[in-house]
Amino acid sequence: MFPDENETLRQRLVRRFTSPNSRFWLLAACLPLLTVLRLGVLWHPVQDPADLPADLEPLTVAPEPRRLRRTLGDDDSIYQSLKRQPLSETQVVELIEAIKPVFNLRGDSRPLDRYTLVLDPAGEVQRFEYLPLREPERPLVVERQEGRLVGRRNVLPLEKRTEAIEVRIVDNMSNAIENAGEGQELTDQIADEVFGSVINFTKDLRRGDRLGIVCEKFYQNGHFIRYGQVLLAKYNGAEVAQVGVYYKDPEGRKSYYDGQGNSLKRMFMNYPVPLRGINSHFNAARFHPVLKMTRPHLGTDYAARQGTLVWASAGGKVVRAGWDGGGYGNMVEVDHGSGYRTRYGHLSKVSVRTGQRVDQKTPLGLVGATGLATGPHLHFEVIKNGKQINPEKVNHDALGAPLPKNALADFAAQRDQYLSLLAGSTQVAAHLSPSVSVAE
């Protein structure tokens, strides 16, 4: 910056806009703009009916209610978000007290949840509608009844459909699924729950690979609401081929199996957060971006938004939880037995305590940037007999437990039923694709 230049520029601007001639033209230019703005306000629809769940009746209490539509940010809570609205502390507390009996403020809300706050002309809360992404078919509604705010959960009747989807990989799975018109939640289910321990989605995918999916989808009045269970996923690639079949065994245990009925579950999940990429791999001699010196990177850094849920890669017992004092910041360490431990660093929040037993995928805390970190990410380590090993190689050569023999026939029948749905979708796609009809 050069202050002298700025000064001259400012002086020049002041001179130009304070001369009588330019003031006239400035005013003349502003008049039509002001008119457009006023018309814009008049034309702007007061409410967008498409945004409301179908069973919410229009408000009749006040003649001119004010509607505020908000979305929870990363690391946000309903309470924090409400405090930023034009409400007094008493109003916020009254609303929170009405929500509490019907909604778990900590557990049921998450970033990107949306809500609408309706205020009467006096600024009094008349209504609060909250759409939890975790359970979109059960919106939370708080309404003023006889002067008091009362909360309830609505239940939207949903229709379940089983659909087959076929996608082709260009660069990564997330984009391939999005190009097929499907959402990130589906990618996460496949990357975490179906193939979470057996396919390395940062290394094994190649352009032209195919992925077939049979899954449940829930609709309301023809509108997609959310995904249900992925029933089958079939990855057919140059580097890796894998089928995952959802099956509930005779004892009621639900899991994913390969085509022969061997469990796809491994001791460790490949990723302790939904996969959004890897910032830094395990490296014995890396130049450290914060310390500015060569220092081994003894774990894997997963890209993740601030506030993303971090889960246990395997079942075990928490041996450390909280502020580390060193570079890890807030961290959790879990002992899995057989000489294995895992560490999760830079967390913004820790949600387990030392001594607690956790299962695979139990939430441990939230992604943050505490300790020696340039930005939010998860630093993840796998330790075997006191020495860090490469987390991306931990499941190699492991084999999952097979289904009991008496369940195999039933399993095979279900697998074939799902596969036939996929074959049907492929045929339809082939008929619609012009390149295929030319080949015929």
The residues of the shown chain that bind Zn ion, judged by CB under 5 A, are 301, 379
Q: Measured from the CB of residue 298, what is the shortest distance to Zn ion in angstroms?
A: 8
Q: Which of 401, 340, 329 is nearest to 366 (CA)?
A: 329
Q: Which is nearer to Zn ion, 61 or 291 (CB)?
A: 291
Q: Which is nearer to Zn ion, 319 or 372 (CB)?
A: 372
Q: Measured from the CB of residue 295, what is the shortest distance to Zn ion in angstroms?
A: 10
For residue 416, give the H/E element and its range: helix 408-432
Q: Which is nearer to Zn ion, 13 or 291 (CB)?
A: 291
Q: Measured from the CB of residue 136, what is the shortest distance to Zn ion in angstroms?
A: 35
Distance in angstroms (rounded) separating the CA atoms of residues 326 and 387? 18
Distance in angstroms (rounded) separating the CA atoms of residues 124 and 66? 10
Q: Which two tokens stand for residue 12?
A: 């020049």
364 exposed, middle or buried (CB, 10 Å; 0-12, 13-18, 19+)? Answer: buried
How many alpha carbons fall within 13 Å on the CB side of residue 420? 6
82 exposed, middle or buried (CB, 10 Å; 0-12, 13-18, 19+)? Answer: buried
251 exposed, middle or buried (CB, 10 Å; 0-12, 13-18, 19+)? Answer: exposed
Q: Measured from the CB of residue 190, what is the shortest distance to Zn ion in angstroms?
A: 26
Q: Which is nearer to Zn ion, 217 or 379 (CB)?
A: 379
Q: Measured from the CB of residue 39, what is the shortest distance to Zn ion in angstroms?
A: 54
How many alpha carbons fall within 13 Å on the CB side of residue 181? 5
DSSP state letters, 262-315: BB---SS-S-SS----EEE--EEEEEETTTTEEEEE-SEEEE--TT-EEE-SS-
Q: Which is nearer to Zn ion, 127 or 379 (CB)?
A: 379
Contact 94, 149 (CB under 8 A): yes
Contact 273, 311 (CB under 8 A): yes
Q: Measured from the CB of residue 44, what is the shortest distance to Zn ion in angstroms?
A: 47
Q: Which is nearer to Zn ion, 306 or 426 (CB)?
A: 306
Q: Which is nearer to Zn ion, 336 or 379 (CB)?
A: 379
Q: Measured from the CB of residue 192, what is the shortest distance to Zn ion in angstroms?
A: 21
Q: Measured from the CB of residue 106, what is the shortest distance to Zn ion in angstroms?
A: 28
Q: Which of 169, 154, 159 is nearest to 209 (CA)?
A: 169
Q: Measured from the CB of residue 342, what is the shortest distance to Zn ion in angstroms?
A: 13
Q: Which two tokens stand for residue 69?
A: 């539509």
Q: Which is nearer to Zn ion, 208 or 296 (CB)?
A: 296
Distance in angstroms (rounded) separating the CA atoms of residues 173 and 235? 11
Q: Which is nearer to Zn ion, 259 or 327 (CB)?
A: 327
Closest chain position to Zn ion (CB): 379
